[in-house]
Amino acid sequence: MTSERKALYASLGLLGLVLLAWEFLPPALGVPVFIIPTFSDCLAELSRMWRVEGLVGHTLSTALYTVLGFAIGSALGAALGYALGMSAFWEKVLSPYILALQIAPKVAFAPLFIMWFGYNAMPKLLVTVLIVFFPVLVNVLQAMRTVDRDLVNLARAYNLSRWQIFLKVEAPSTVPNLMAGLRIASTLAVIGVTVGELVGGNTGLGFLISYGGGQANAAMVFNAIVLLTVIGFLLYSALAKVEARVLHYLPKAQH
């Protein structure tokens, strides 16, 4: 039996133990259903949410804006990271402002976006873009700073233009850092969408969390959290597969 298969079986076994504890421990300890619902309670509520609450529509809305916000934020972060990496002057000019915006809590912008754009999808999209933007920007900029200068000087010796140096030397060298930033950003994208939906949304899983909390329906909140986790996991897994194909030439660690 391979180590990967052993790890899979161990992971599934641990999941089974968690589900059993979730099902039987709360009633045994006398925990009320509105505090910690059992696994079967959550399944029953999931069926009701499917039939009554429009669960599919809410889930698809959250998934759509998670992917859309991730794509826009990543593209902007990578573009600005490469641009600043190619210009030391503009990096020095803009770095204090980028740092200030990075330090500012992104979730605090959600009420402001709602004031500007109203109770629609735009605030949660902008919060997601803002949260995703910085991990990608920082990773790309750091990678551009650490490109092998000997390779750059060699390219200059062959009279390559600045754009050719970027395409043939700098961009390939920064791909591992870019992919790492994208994987980090994929987990943060779900947070951005959820914050936007919690603060002022009328659709999405974040809205269901807010609605369920107001109704003291813990099972609904649990189900929405699980579905948000699934969305984030699927996005992260897709990026991991892309990374494995793009960076297939890198040696793997031996255990």
Cα-Cα end-to-end distance for the chain: 16
Most distant CA pair in the chain: distance in Å? 76
Sign of CA dihedral 80, 65, 232, 225: positive
The per-residue pLDDT for 251 is: 55
Rounded to whole angstroms, how far apart are CA atoms 171 and 140?
A: 9
Residue 123 forms part of a structural domain: yes
Residue 254 is predicted with a pLDDT of 47
User: How far apart, in whole angstroms, are the C-alpha atoms of residue 208 and residue 204?
Assistant: 7
Question: Is residue 184 in a domain?
Answer: yes
- Contact 129/72 with Cβ under 8 angstroms? yes
Q: Tell whether 196 is covered by a domain.
A: yes
pLDDT along the chain (255 residues), means of 10: 79 90 87 87 90 90 94 93 84 83 82 84 89 91 82 80 81 86 91 86 87 88 93 92 77 50
107 within some domain: yes
Is residue 126 in a domain?
A: yes
Ordered alpha helix ranges (H), the chain: 3-28, 39-52, 55-86, 88-103, 109-117, 121-145, 149-157, 162-165, 171-200, 205-214, 218-246
Whether 252 is in a domain gets the answer: no
What is the span of the domain harbouring residue 73? 39-246
Domain presence at residue 7: no
Q: Residue 74: what pLDDT?
A: 94
Number of domains in the chain: 1
- Predicted confidence at residue 249, as pLDDT, reads 63
28 found inside a domain? no
Q: How far apart are CA 89 and CA 83, in angstroms?
A: 11
Residue 88 CA, chain-centre distance (Å), reads 29
> What CATH number does residue 84 fall under?
1.10.3720.10
